[in-house]
Amino acid sequence: MSMNELGREKSPYLLQHAKNPVHWKSWSKASLQLALTSNKPILVSIGYATCHWCHVMEKECFEDQAVADLLNQSFVCIKVDREEMPDVDDVYMTSLHLFGQRGGWPLNVFLTPDQLPFYGGTYFPKPQFLQVLRHISNTWSNESDRAKEIGIQIQSVLAEHNDVRSKGVANVERWLELSYKRSVQEFDDDFGGFGGAPKFPPYQQLPALLRFFNCTGELKALEMCETTLLQMFAGGIYDHIGGGFSRYAVDESWTVPHFEKMLYTNALLGPIYLSFYKFGQDETFLRCAQETAEYMMRDLLLEGGGFASGEDADSEGEEGRFYVFSIEELGLILGDDFEKWSSVFDFDVNGNFEGKIIFRLKNQSWTDRISQSWTEVQNRVRNFRDQRMRPLRDHKILTGWNALAIKFLVELYRVDRKKRNLEVAQKTGQFLLDNLKINDVVMRRVCDGEVSHRGLLEDYSYLISAFIDLYLATGDEIWLKESIRIQQKQDELFWDDTSGGYFTT
């Protein structure tokens, strides 16, 4: 009998599902071949270790014996860690969008035995998931041609999507102008950011707006950046006690975060705050970048080297439990300082998250927020919070994300000249060289000593850029030589000689 095979994996996400009654398999040629030989449809379920709704669906569905029995009888079930295999995730997330559905995780996509996607969704509560499974099973038994037809149509669109042909040098100025106009249309004048809830930090739009301002002098671009950066730093999406940003906010005002904190989120946002600091030397932006880096080095940096991928939203079975406070706790911690800081932060007696309090700045009280007196109180509150059970830390080390962390720390060193930032960046670079580069081939991840998954274009390109930054900061030619060797391998593996450009995988 085919049983759950995830116990042999290293991925923290896959191991979370190793004791499910579902007969999970990892993504492999053998798993895909099993679907062909058994003529069963495939369920590809994709998530990551710190994903709150992945945990919810596991508890409601994948730990349930009735769901497991139906899955084991009618499907070949494959679990994928999206952070280890973003190329697989990208294909099926695009498929989900083609089905007319909104993306997110967990991502659950159904394929024909020969891997044609024909249905999908994200989080399913148990009753709905059972209905979906019965419907898919019945469709495959009685109308498999219909499923295949849908799959062929989706595959055709995916092929067109990937069939990018070079059309000469891109007009960067035109692209920046179009991006600016779209940003103006979507901009939230009250709270910054673009579009409505849920709100994700716009770490791609903001650099484009800053570049547009540098090219054109358009002040609106600068104003949108400033408003967004300040509102995010003021909001609960930023951890005012421990530093660092959560992956997104569930509301328009950035007040309630989704609590999970990812390495890439912080490694990408930190340099944007530094860029804005350089415009006006406003210490608010520098402080945000410094606290974000301190969070990364304190809570994500692993003892053996390298940065962990992120921290979960949940602890002790509750979302956000580690991060929120009761009004009584704050009175106990702050003592005589409570009245002062309740005028700086939103200490509503009714709370701002399920009766509890998320630290959120009110009235843009930046002078108090970046003062030495706040730093002392901040340490006091963090010491209290650190007595709690911490959320799970996803300790796998990803090459591309660590390279982004290096770039951020080097840039911060250039600004504040604190040696620790450069030292950690150098040690992380050496760790990647020693553990994730094998005969000039870049690997994607290492976890518990196991190196796995060949690197993608993002791993190569971020690593090249990080090593160049290290060379410029230190003058050590080893970083330049390594960046050249990795660039040569990137060209060999990813360059499209026919149409130009690089393949992503």
Q: What is the dihedral of CA 425, 431, 434, 436, to 10 degrees?
A: -100
Give the pLDDT of residue 157.
87
At residue 32, what is the residue type?
Answer: L
Tens digit of pLDDT for each residue in 333-365? 999 999 999 999 999 889 999 999 999 998 777
Question: CA-to-CA distance for 94 and 45, rounded, in angstroms?
Answer: 14
Q: With respect to CATH, is domain 6-162 assigned 1.10.3720.10?
A: no
Calculate mean pLDDT across residues 374-383: 96
Question: CA-to-CA distance for 41 and 35, rounded, in angstroms?
Answer: 7
Give the pLDDT of residue 172.
83
For residue 249, what is the enclosing H or E element? none
Calculate mean pLDDT across residues 18-28: 97
Tens digit of pLDDT for each residue in 227-245? 999 999 999 999 999 999 9
So where are the chain's domains?
6-162, 397-494
- pTM, two decimals, is 0.91
Q: What is the mean pLDDT of the chain?
A: 94
Residues pairing with 78 in the sheet: 25, 44
Token output for 186: 């979507």
Residue indicated by tokens 């090219």 = 215
3-state secondary structure of 363: coil
Tens digit of pLDDT for each residue in 152-200? 998 888 887 666 544 445 688 888 999 999 999 999 999 999 999 999 9
Give the pLDDT of residue 158.
82
Calculate mean pLDDT across residues 391-397: 97
